[in-house]
Chain A
């Protein structure tokens, strides 16, 4: 298993780890059986994600993708965050081994899940905006 230097950097010094007590949206994806759970907390002000924190149970790639994903959306608009793809997270980490790509999917879903919670709390149906949050395919094999 060969990880890039960036993956190692984000694994050994993960950015934005923790919780936000008065978060505006919280999302949790993945499951213990598969060995990956990501929980994402966001703080939103006037359509901008002003703060984001995460907690992750998972492998090195899961921790690194969570960390990178939070960096990529912090300070960005909700619209930008919704456009973040797992591919962009992988690229920002200088790539991931093929068997670890599903971890990056989880990071994208964790953000969407937190945003869906944000909209739900606002009394807005998240489905048309955020879309369906699908579970990772391999969990259903």
Chain B
């Protein structure tokens, strides 16, 4: 059991390093890769790492993944993942792009739940 946990920790460490590296990667395809593999993982911890890496990029496409997609980022079914993503958004030094995407989401998104979440996060960001 301990061996299995150690093995699991080893793989999670590798995943963490790769995701962190992708967060700093200059290639725009890194966003696509994080969205494709990281945000669709069945493990909460990997989705959480991925959301943080995407927010760290502070680019339109990367922020849009965690704000406008149902079931990802701030709209994740896991409270831990959603709260961690919101916390990361609140910690951004430059919130301009995030606020712009949140405003657009509140005004134009087709899903009511996504609009409500975006509105709440936008209010929190305005207070911070």
- State whether these chains interact: no
Q: Which A residues fall within an 8 A CB radius of B?
A: none
